[in-house]
Amino acid sequence: MSTYRSDFLAILAERGFIHQVSEPDALDARAKSETITAYIGFDCTAPSLHVGSLLPIMMLYWLQQTGHRPIVLMGGGTTRVGDPSGKDESRRMLSDEAIDRNLKGIRAIFSRFLKFEGEGGNAVMANNADWLNRLNYIDFLRDIGRHFSVNRMLSFDAVKLRLERQQELSFLEFNYMVLQAYDFVELHRRYGCILQMGGSDQWGNIVNGIDLGRRMLNAQLFALTSPLITTSSGAKMGKTAAGAVWLNADLVSPYDYWQYWRNTEDGDVVRFLKLFTVLPLSEIARLSALKGAEINEAKKMLATEATALVHGRAAAEAAAETARRTFEEGTLAETLPTVEIARADLERGLGVLVAFAEKAGLVASNSEARRQIRSGGLRVNDRTVADEKMILTAHDLTAAGVIKLSLGRKRHVLLKPV
């Protein structure tokens, strides 16, 4: 790949964010000579963003850090339609209320990464519902629809895949790319936005927007996509047994978030340090020289830095300290996730099954707890539970006044009587 002269593209390139760029030289020149405005769209399909969305967020972060203007586009309108890209099946239709609720949850995350207008920054938060919701169908067809060739739309991967696999693609979803293209044009009109970024699966959609911009406004627009990030062993990022790794603290605690990064595979550490932390590359180069068990130092760095970005420095260091005491010293850290239980329950005697399943929520059901006991996976105060009929009482309280329940080596919950 050519070397970029603008700070923005140079940084994205050396940190591994770039998969494809349209007209890289022209974009580089503009990013070098002027302040450019770029956007990324975010779906409102869930109440929070998860780790998978972190990559685009980081691209906006670097955009602003290198002197440009980021636009976060909330898909309040497009989420009502549903993007067929990369999906085998139609998505379930979300109610407008659900979308609205999700939108609010997602919004909060961005203030960690970007400085918005009114907060001493220049970032813009937009919502495509503002223009999509009031479109008039016939007008839209005449103004926008005439620029689209169905022949060409059928050739895009997102559509082709569905057709080839003989899976249904509704007319509703078929229109998604038209709406997304229109978003780009609308953002160009409103904010002078010239660049849309996104994951590699968005390339087709973005290019549609570029075409539309040229036809309607004779504008030169650009596309930049990031690679699909998978772990070295091929798994998609952001999924664990417990579900997605959400960015909101009420869905995934800072401690669990820290743990997620701490458990990164060896082969991914350097790549992730570049993508998901803002550590200087020189520092990352130093960490990448570590070998064998020393790589754990790099993983801790990754975990703490990545957590600090999302949850703040203090929460990140608290999580690191909790982990250090739990894993390295083997002592009890009172800052482990804690569940309060009624003191009366304890005096009456609390069955282990209930304690693990209902109270701590470490396992999904009593049956699951039984199975785990049979395979030696449950521990109370670091002693393996051998008997599923075991009863917890006040005698099991440690000096710190809690009972430590563990599932496997890594997952711990403290029961605290109140």
Partner RNA sequence: GGGAGAGUGUCCCGAGCGGCAAAGGGGGCGGACUGUAAAUCCGCUGGCUUACGCCUUCGUAGGUUCGAGUCCUACCUCUCCCA
Q: Which residues bind RNA (CB under 7 A)?
A: 166, 168, 232-233, 235, 240-241, 259, 262-266, 292-293, 295-296, 299, 323-324, 326-328, 353, 357, 364-368, 370-372, 374-377, 388-389, 407-411
Shortest distance, position 208 Cβ to RNA, whole Å:
24
Single-letter residue type at 407:
L
Task: Report the C-alpha gap between 394 and 388 in whole angstroms.
Answer: 18
Q: What is the DSSP letter of 19?
A: S
Q: What's the one-letter identity of residue 336?
A: L
Going edge to edge, which strands form the sheet with 124-127?
20-21, 222-226, 195-199, 37-42, 69-74, 124-127
- Give least dist CB 361 to RNA, A: 12
Q: Among residues 13 and 228, whose Cβ is nearest to RNA? A: 228
**Nearest-approach distance from CB 318 to RNA, in angstroms:** 13
Determine the Cα–Cα distance for residues 354 and 391; give it in Å rounded to an integer. Answer: 10
Residue with smaller CB distance to RNA, 33 or 170: 170
Nearer to RNA, 65 or 366 (CB): 366
* Shortest Å, Cβ 418 to RNA: 25
For residue 64, the minimal CB distance to RNA (Å) is: 32
Q: Are strands 350-351 and 391-392 parallel, antiparallel or unpaired?
A: antiparallel
Nearer to RNA, 126 or 360 (CB): 360
Question: Cβ contacts of residue 395 below 8 Å, gap of 6+?
Answer: none
CB of 172 to RNA, least distance (A): 12
CB of 417 to RNA, least distance (A): 22
For RNA, the closer CB: 3 or 166: 166
172 vs 235 by CB, closer to RNA: 235
Residues 313, 297, 377, 245, Cα dihedral to 10° = 40
| CA 4/CA 14 separation, integer angstroms | 10
Rg over alpha carbons for the chain, rounded to the nearest Å, is 25
Distance CA 301, CA 157 (A): 39
Selection from 15, 41, 12 nearest residue 27 by Cα? 12
CB-nearer residue toward RNA: 193 or 318: 318
